[in-house]
Amino acid sequence: MAILHKPQVVLIGWTDFRQPEEYAWQTDTARAGEKLIEFAGRMCYQSWNNPSGRTNRQYIENLLRQGHLSVLEHAQASFAISGISRSCSHELVRHRHFSFSQMSQRYVAEDEANFIEPEVIASDPEAHAIFMQAVEASAEAYRRLNQLLERRLASHPDRLERRKLARQAARAVLPNATETRLVMSGNFRAWRHFLRLRGSRHAEAEIRTLALEIYRQLLELSPAAFGDFEEVEGEDGVIELRTPNPAE
Ligand SMILES: Cc1cc2nc3c(=O)[nH]c(=O)nc-3n(C[C@H](O)[C@H](O)[C@H](O)COP(=O)(O)OP(=O)(O)OC[C@H]3O[C@@H](n4cnc5c(N)ncnc54)[C@H](O)[C@@H]3O)c2cc1C
C-alpha cells in the first residue's frame, strides 16, 4: 500500500493527419492536430489559397475568438491517468464528451490498493494520522471481507466468477481515496471545456492539479489550440487556468 500525492499523466495518443494531394493548400505547422483543424476550417469556406497569409496559429486563434469551436472537435488527445482517487474519477466521468476505460474493481483485486491523500491532510500531522488509520482499517476490512466471501462462495463452479462476486461486494468498504487508473480520450473542444471548469480555482484541488498537468501536455501538443489559456497564481498560492475566449 502506497500513499500518493500527485497524479501521473501520460499523453498516449493524438490525431494524425494526411496531406490530401487533391487540395492545393499548405500550412506552416508541423503538428498534425493543428493541420487537421485548419484543413477542416478551410473546408467550410473553400479558402485554400490563404490570401491574407495567416499562419496556422493565427487561423486557430481566430476560431477561438469567434467561438467557432466545432472545428476543434476533429483533433483528439488521449491520456493514461493514474494516481488519482475514485472521487476524482467520479468527477471526471461527469464530462460527457470523453471516452473512458477505467480499472475494474470487480476484476482487479484491491488487496494492495494505493490511496490518494489530499494535500491539506498530508500537511497536518494530526489529520494525516486520522487519514492513515482510516485507510488502513478500510484496506484490512476489504481483505478480510474478500477472503471470507471467497470461502463462502467456494462451491461456485466458476473461479473467475467467484472472485468477481467477492471483490464487487468487498469493495463497498473502500474509501473515496482509493487509487484508480484510466484512459481518457476526447477532442480539443471537450478538453478546452474541461480545462476551463476543472482548472478554475472553484474546482476541487485534486482535479485542478490534474487539469493543470493535462493542460501543460496539451499546450505542448498544440500551442495554437491551448495557448490562450494561462496559469494564474492567486495570493493564496492556488494556480488556476484562465482564458479570455469562449470555451464551451
Ligand atoms: C466547481 C464545480 C462544482 C461542482 N459541483 C457539483 C455538485 O455539487 N453536484 C453535481 O452533481 N455536480 C457538480 N459539478 C459537476 C457539474 O455539474 C458538471 O456535471 C460537470 O462539471 C460537467 O460539466 P458539463 O455538463 O458542462 O460538461 P460536459 O458533460 O463535458 O458537457 C459539455 C457541454 O456540452 C453540453 N451538453 C452536454 N450534455 C448535454 C445535454 N444532455 N443537454 C444539453 N447540453 C449538453 C453543455 O453545453 C455542456 O456544458 C461541479 C463542477 C464544478 C466545476
Q: Any idea which residue has 491517468 for its cell? A: 81
Spatial CA neighbour of 49 closest among 21, 18, 26, 30: 26
Provide the pLDDT confidence category of residue 9 given band limits of 50, 70 and 90. very high
Burial class (CB in 10 A: 0-12, 13-18, 19+), 184: buried
Q: pLDDT for 31-71, tens place per residue?
A: 999 999 999 999 999 999 888 899 999 999 999 999 999 99
The gap between the terminal CA atoms of the chain, to the nearest Å, is: 40
Nearest atom, ligand 1, residue 202 CA: 1
Spatial CA neighbour of 176 closest among 125, 112, 113: 113
Q: pTM of the prediction?
A: 0.95
Q: pLDDT for 67-104, tens place per residue?
A: 999 999 999 999 999 999 999 999 999 999 999 999 99
Q: Which residues does 57 contact at the CB level (< 8 Å), separation at least 6?
A: 29, 34, 223, 224, 227
Q: What is the pLDDT of residue 144?
A: 98
Residue 91 Cα, ligand 1 centroid: separation in angstroms?
10
205-221 helix and 188-198 helix, angle to the nearest 10 degrees: 140
Q: pLDDT for 153-211, tens place per residue?
A: 999 999 999 999 999 999 999 999 999 999 999 999 999 999 999 999 999 999 999 99
Q: What is the pLDDT of residue 196?
A: 96
For the beta carbon of residue 101, count every other beta carbon within 10 angstroms.
12
Does 216 qualify as catalytic in the annotation?
A: no
Residue nearest to atom 33 of ligand 1 (CA): 248
Average pLDDT rounded to a whole number, residues 135-147: 97
Q: What is the pLDDT of residue 51?
A: 84
Spatial CA neighbour of 84 closest among 73, 95, 72, 93: 93
Q: What is the pLDDT of residue 247?
A: 67
Provide the pLDDT confidence category of residue 246 given band limits of 50, 70 and 90. confident
Q: What is the pLDDT of residue 52?
A: 87
**CATH architecture label of 1-119+177-248:** 2-Layer Sandwich (3.30)
Domain ranges of the chain: 1-119+177-248
Residue 194 Cα, ligand 1 centroid: separation in angstroms?
9
Catalytic residue among 162, 189, 192, 198: 198
Spatial CA neighbour of 32 closest among 67, 79, 77, 68: 77
Which one of 88, 90, 95 would you pick to mutate in the ligand 1 pocket, going by the greatest count of ligand atoms within 8 A of its CB? Answer: 95
Q: pLDDT for 190-206, tens place per residue?
A: 999 999 999 999 999 99
Indicate whether residue 248 lines ligand 1 (CB < 6 A): yes
48 neighbors 42 (Cβ within 8 angstroms): yes
Indicate whether residue 18 lines ligand 1 (CB < 6 A): no
Indicate whether residue 211 lines ligand 1 (CB < 6 A): no
